[in-house]
Amino acid sequence: MIVTAIAFILGVQLWWEGPAYGIAFTVFLGQLLIGWSNDLYDYADDVAHKRINKPLVAGTLTPTQLHHTTFLLLPIAAAANLVGPLGFKGGLVYLLGVGCGIAYNFYFKFSIFSFLPYAIACAALPASVYLAVNRTPPMWVLLGGSLIGVAFHFLNVLKDLKQDRESNIGGLPQRVGKAPSAVIAIILLSTAILICIVNNR
């Protein structure tokens, strides 16, 4: 929902409210693909750690139902982004970000390079909206997005870090530990904020 809200705000700022709703909707579809694929892949681990806030663990949905729904959504989300208000170039760039999110779920969260999908995806989001209005995304926007994305990665891992280690999930935050991850996140966020302030004077 945070990513969708950011997409809507960018759409309003760079375009106007009408297409911003369309942009937010297509971005939301991509985020569903990332979230649902994550829940499917992590199902056994979520059950082992009794994460009953997850619909699959709580029994609200079955893995088969979610699997079918995810594959049904895939072509719809791809088509909506490529022919929607983002345009072909913007939609393609955003789908690159979605691909990074899915790649993180299935591979990168076990790698020391776990930050890389976040860095790319969180730069792709603002870039896609800029491209939708035929504007070249400024470098400071791309850099700021990447830094915020990587900071979020380190912060997001903190709450489950112990359980992740038990499950042999060895991303960079899990390897460096809780305190260093928190410090890294603060530094990255501070840098991103500074870059935004300097470039908006």
For residues 102 and 113, give the distance between their C-alpha atoms in angstroms, rounded to a whole number.
14
Residue with tokens 């971005």: 27
Three-state DSSP class for residue 169: coil
Locate the domains of the chain by residue range.
2-198
**159 token code pair:** 């709450």
**108 token code pair:** 């990168």
Position 180 scores a pLDDT of 94
Position 168 scores a pLDDT of 87
**Torsion angle defined by CA atoms of residues 166, 168, 172 and 173, in that order, rounded to the nearest 10 degrees:** -20
Position 152 scores a pLDDT of 95
Per-block mean pLDDT, blocks of 10 residues, the chain (201 long) = 92 88 95 95 89 89 94 94 93 96 94 96 96 93 95 92 87 93 96 91 70
Position 75 scores a pLDDT of 95
Position 136 scores a pLDDT of 93
